Structure 1
Amino acid sequence: MNAPTRPDLSDIKLGDWVDRRLPPALRPYTRLARLDRPVGIWLTLFPCWAALIQASHGFPGILQLIVFSLGALLMRSAGSTTNDIADRKFDGHVERTRFRPLASGQIGVPQAALFLAAELALAASLLLFLSPLTRLVAICVLPLVFVYPFCKRFTHWPQAVLGAAFNWGMLMAWSEVMGKIPAGAFLMWLGAIAWQIGYDTVYAYVDERDDRRLGLKSTAILFGEHGKACIGLFYAVTVAAWSIGGWMVGMSFPYAIGMLVIAAHLGWQTWRLDLERPDLNYRLFLANILTGVLLAAAASAGTL
């Protein structure tokens, strides 16, 4: 009998559209920005859109929608580039990240640093379309963006730092639309952090063996065999925070129905989770795109 084939856990699939359609000079930068792996973009965008909808109590302005969407794309890409620069000596020894441009030697740190400067400059140009208060809120996220890549060296909670940075656009949305960040909006942001700790821990279990070998830290390593219960707990906190936060910002009854659907979806994810199956864990991580869709849909329904 043949032994079962170990799944390919690399997050870069050689021979994909980047290799087939882009000139060689552009390929490393496309992968640095994660344009070939847009899951992180969607996980950033949907909570931001939900906050814009809640703050506007209806459909947000077109300019606001464009600016915040581009901002989420650029800052997520800049964060990914920063992460790859910081982790370049580790990524080559991790199955999931071994083909990343810096780890595989396709480009060097100087080229990546110039690309990062360009990403940050483009993101900064969007501040011209925002209010002074929102600009100040935006600048406050930069320390989190630059600290996160190093967190796994000294804390088991890099997922919490990433969650705070990833979902910062929710706070900016309220600042821009309402000129303030009410307590309910802040609670929605905390719920998004709990959600990210949950789904990013699922993701971290894909790398757990490699991270242990390299002496790195994560919530997956911290939770160990209790990961399923811990992830379920953070998902429960997510639903509670989003439910109470939504009520505090004036969401109507249909929003509560949306929260029930999200609770069922996150409960299904927790039930399906298998800490010994990295391939399944990765698919469950991807399933959180639907969670983001459901959150934005619930926010829309809650404005009726």
Structure 2
Amino acid sequence: MRPADSSTRATRVLDWLLRKLRLTPAAREKALDYLVLTRMDRPIGALLLLWPTWWALWLAAGDFPPVKLLVVFTLGVFAMRAAGCAINDFADRKLDPQVARTAGRPIASGRVTPREALIVFASLLVLAFVLVLFTNRLTILLSFAGAALAAIYPFTKRYTYMPQVVLGAAFGWSIPMAFAAVSGTVPPLGWLLFIANILWSVIYDTEYAMVDREDDIKAGAKSTAILFGDADLPILGILMGTFALAMLFAGQRASLGWPYWVALIVSLGLFAHQLWSIRTRDRATCLQAFRNNNWLGMVLWIGIVLALGVR
């Protein structure tokens, strides 16, 4: 039994890699359960965290960032995202069995125990902290706030209709950390990018929450998709426009050239496509719109890289 939203391609790759390790069938199955727990079967979540991190690294450096920091932050993105998924499933262990899309997750289906999930979470936090030790004092101090946000987020959906805002802060905390690691400080541009990322996270995670809206209402969970109700599409449109405005200000402050502005226009086209595709609020198209944000993040990163390159 696998989660309904697992990537078939990613799962096949994981199966192939585990076979190459020549593990026993039982060990291979258990290892796959841990990989699914940490969403390695759905890499898009890590990519949505990676793109803003790379935006920040390139803008902070004003060019190609130091290789050591690029490696540290790229590995850190995957470690922290995996840790966040483990603690999320622990927090949702009673909710997930009630939602069709998540009923096949490892804890919900009984393949991984809550205690095992906590051990995985703690181990990944230790790994992420070891990576941060290769940076500077300010970045290390900021990392504690990032770990706290990652641990708090899964529980917010019980107490607030805006857990997506906390998710955005948790996903975007790598932005001030990246600026701190490169330049030893977090300038206004870093905080502007951080705010923009919160807006973007609310956008794509609301689209994601629209997939489960009816199940979440029955289960008593909270989300912006439920909060926005019938006004979800116009509110998403406003958030998209506000995000684009924040990224426009970021481009001006960083003195970026024409490739970035082309990328920003393309991102507006991707947003328009998302809004049009979810106009019927069909579950499948809402999930596709969520996944489309991977291309948006990549387009903006390419725009930043090219704009810095033609200075």
Q: TM-score, normalised by structure 1?
A: 0.93
Indicate how the Cα distance of structure 1 residues 275 and 141 shifts in structure 2: closer, same or farther if over 3 A, else same. Answer: farther
Alignment-mate amino acid for residue 142 of structure 2 = V
Identity, in percent, stands at 36
- 1:88 maps to which residue? 93
Unaligned ranges ≥5, structure 2: 19-27
In structure 2, C-alpha distance between the alignment counterparts of 1:19 and 1:95, rounded to whole Å:
24
Per-residue deviation at 1:192? 1.1
Alignment of 1:162 with 2:162, yes or no, is no
Give the Cα separation in 1 of the matches to 2:148 and 2:122: 15
Partner residue in 2 for 1:273: 278
Q: Please name the residue that 2:156 is paired with.
A: 151
Matches within 5 A, 1:218-233: 218-233=223-238
Question: How far apart, CA to CA, are the structure 2 residues paired with 1:255 and 1:234?
Answer: 20
Count of aligned positions: 297
TM-superposed CA distance for 1:19, in Å, is 5.6
Please give the secondary structure, in 2, of the residue aligned with 1:276: coil
Q: Is the 8 A contact 1:44 1:72 kept in 2?
A: yes
Deviations 1:189-230 (A, max 9, x none): 111110110111000000000100011110000111111111
Computed over aligned residues only, the root mean square deviation of the Cα atoms, in angstroms, reads 1.8
Q: What SS does the corresponding residue of 2:185 show, helix, strand or coil?
A: coil
Pair 1:185 & 2:179 matched: no
1:11 has 2:5 as partner:
yes
Listed as ranges, the gaps of 5+ residues in structure 1 are: 1-7
Aligned-residue offset at 1:153: 0.6
Distance in 2 of aligned mates of 1:251 and 1:12: 38
1:1-304 equivalence runs, <5 A = 10-12=4-6, 16-17=11-12, 18=14, 22=18, 23-303=28-308, 304=310
Whole-Å Cα distance in 1 between the matches of residues 102 and 3 of structure 2? 9
Report SS of the residue matched to 2:51. Answer: helix
CA distance in 2, matches of 1:248, 1:14: 42
Task: Describe the shift of the 1:19–1:99 C-alpha distance in structure 2 as closer, same or farther (beyond 3 A).
Answer: farther
Q: In the TM superposition, what is the alpha-carbon distance from 1:257 to its structure 2 partner?
A: 2.1
Cα distance 1:178–1:14, how it changes in 2: closer, same or farther (>3 A)?
Answer: closer
Partners of 1:94 and 1:191 lie apart in 2 by 30
Q: Which amino acid aligns with 2:6?
A: I
For residues 118 and 33 of structure 1, what CA distance do their matches in structure 2 show?
Answer: 12
Work out whether residues 48 and 169 of structure 1, in 8 Å CA contact, stay in contact via their aligned partners in 2: yes
- 1:250 positional shift: 2.8
CA separation of 1:157 and 1:121: change in aligned 2, threshold 3 A: same
Deviates more, 1:87-96 or 1:245-254: 245-254
More moved, 286-295 vs 20-29: 20-29
Counterpart-to-counterpart distance in 2, 1:250 and 1:171 = 19
TM-score normalised per structure 2: 0.91
What does residue 3 of structure 1 align with?
none
Shift of 1:274: 2.8
The aligned amino acid for 1:151 is T
Contact 2:260 2:304 survives alignment (8 Å): yes
* CA deviation string 1:221-277 (max 9, x = no partner): 011111111111111111100110221133233322221111121122112223530
For the Cα contact (< 8 Å) 2:168–2:199, is it kept in 1?
A: yes
Counterpart CA distance in 2 for 1:105 and 1:47 is 34
Q: Aligned with 2:94: secondary structure?
A: helix
Question: For the Cα contact (< 8 Å) 2:176–2:190, is it kept in 1?
Answer: yes
**8 Å contact kept, 2:210–2:225:** yes
Deviates more, 1:182-191 or 1:277-286: 182-191
